[in-house]
Amino acid sequence: MVISHNSASESINVKLSVFAKDNLNNNKEQKLLTQSHDIDSSGSGSFELSEMDVIDLGEFSWNQRLRPKPKLHGKYLLGDILGQGTFAKVYEVLDLVTLERQAVKIYDLQKIDRKFNRDEMIAMVNQEINLLTGCNHPNVIKLIDVHRPVNQKSSKIWVYMEYCMASVAELMQLANPSQVKKLPRKQARRYFTGLLSGLDYLHSKGIFHKDIKPDNMLINVFDTIKLTDLSVSYVVDIFTQSDICFNTYGTIAYQSPEVINSTDAGFSASALDIWSAGVTLYVMVTGKLPFSSKSGFIAMTESILADNPQADDILKIDPCLSNLIHSMLDKDPVRRIKLYQVLNHPWFLINLMGDSPKINIPPRYANGDQYRSLTITSHLHELHYPLPNDQNIVRVSESSAEEFNAKRKIPIVRSNRSPTRHRKNKRRPSFIEKVTSGQIGRLLGAIGLKADSFNVCDLATRIKSKVDSSTNDSDLSTNQSESEER
């Protein structure tokens, strides 16, 4: 059976072929057959078969491997990893009952215990879960299910949420300063409208986000903005008149001046959200931060406190947009525009003529997976139609090792192959191998010995030949030991 995937450069042909060795021992076969389907943090469930043939494409070599066994957690089938942080990872999952594509965020409590204040971090995780449980809005990420540790041996919290394709930061490629793409004004206004709608809903429930930025604005398959990450949010009673906050958690580049200069009197959480939203809008339309571009905490804070937003051509073309941004980035929180005033600003009503084309979500991997396809397809096939161990091997032929290394991350290829770099025994040259005959002569002269050039050259040649012969002997013995182990 041949499965082909068309790409811009060439197609990848994946051939399922039976070429397992007959001399595989029964113990290894039994180990492969009895592997558990349960989730385990010890590995991915794939075993390397040392007695299989090796595919050599020049720069790389690969050992044959079995496709990984499906990973099940309750009624959910895990796919590939979508992203990861300090103590959490996000995977794509499929609900096997409803066949709904979702995402799961897995918090590892052991890592929290090692690196951070455990009680404080766990309180943040629980706060985000509790807040999302009570939220139901088109522009706020939807929480579907939560699985907490059932015993002391388990240390992970599984939080299932709706699936989103990317974040605004990933769409703009903010992680690569040389490749940043600013959004067209129409697209930025659409995303900003979703941000304000979700923010207005949260404020109505007494929740102040406090960490608004492009990284926390997710985009689903319908191009709708979803606010996420409520771990550092500030919560008040809905009937409370004051929104004074005291903790300063958040991203420094999106923090307001009153937060940087915060005192025991605190600061307005709603005014902070307006400031952060203004910085986010500026970043979306210009592709850069409004204040100092110098790296460093001190330079950034000084610029936020003293400087005005940097001038940009797009703000000169659109004075209405410039007015909105400057009103949101007023350094005085009392004079700063309020949320209901932002929602009624004229910029949302004007016709944006001559705007550039929409920016599409970039491919998940270079040269492949342009539409961010479902990564669980191969795991479903292995779950319902598993192949025998002697047939579950895949040979991939590719003309270029570099292109294959990029294309292998396309789901159909990645699920069947697990390429690894071929490690060569690289030995550093010794001192004698690097020195020349002239250097040896000067060395002998420094210690009071006399030697003519012929003797020096002969000495250097003999030493180097001795080193080369010993090196060849060691390489030969290493190869023999490796062959014996196989």
Model pLDDT for residues 132-181, shown as the tens digit of each residue: 999 999 999 999 999 998 777 778 999 999 999 999 999 998 888 888 99
Q: What tokens appear for 348 in the block?
A: 């949302």
What was the pLDDT predicted at 105? Answer: 95
Mean pLDDT of 375-399: 68
DSSP string, 205-270: TTEE----SGGGEEE-TTS-EEE---TT-EE--TT-S--EE----S-GGG--HHHHT--TT-EEHH
Class of the CATH-defined domain 166-348:
mainly alpha
CATH number for domain 76-162, candidates 2.40.50.100, 2.40.50.140, 3.90.850.10, 3.30.200.20: 3.30.200.20
Is pLDDT larger for residue 324 or for residue 48? 324
pLDDT digits (tens, 9 = 90+) for 39-77: 333 333 333 333 333 333 333 333 334 556 789 999 999
- Mean pLDDT estimate for the chain: 75
Which one from 22, 53, 95, 211 is the annotated catalytic residue? 211
Give yes or no for a contact between 230 and 127, defined as CB atoms under 8 angstroms apart. Answer: yes
Mean pLDDT of 300-304: 90
Give yes or no for a contact between 81 and 72, defined as CB atoms under 8 angstroms apart. Answer: no
What was the pLDDT predicted at 372? Answer: 85
Question: Quick check: 276 pLDDT over 70?
Answer: yes
* Residue among 35, 90, 99 nearest 67 (CA): 35
Is 211 designated active site? Answer: yes
Kindly give, in sequence order, each residue whose CB lies less than 8 Å from that of residue 338, ignoring residues fewer than 6 positions away.
Answer: 270, 274
pLDDT digits (tens, 9 = 90+) for 11-38: 333 333 323 333 333 333 333 333 333 3
Q: What tokens appear for 412 in the block?
A: 């159909």
Question: Quick check: 475 pLDDT over 90?
Answer: no
pLDDT digits (tens, 9 = 90+) for 187-197: 999 999 999 99
Tell me the C-alpha distance between 106 and 110, whole Å.
12
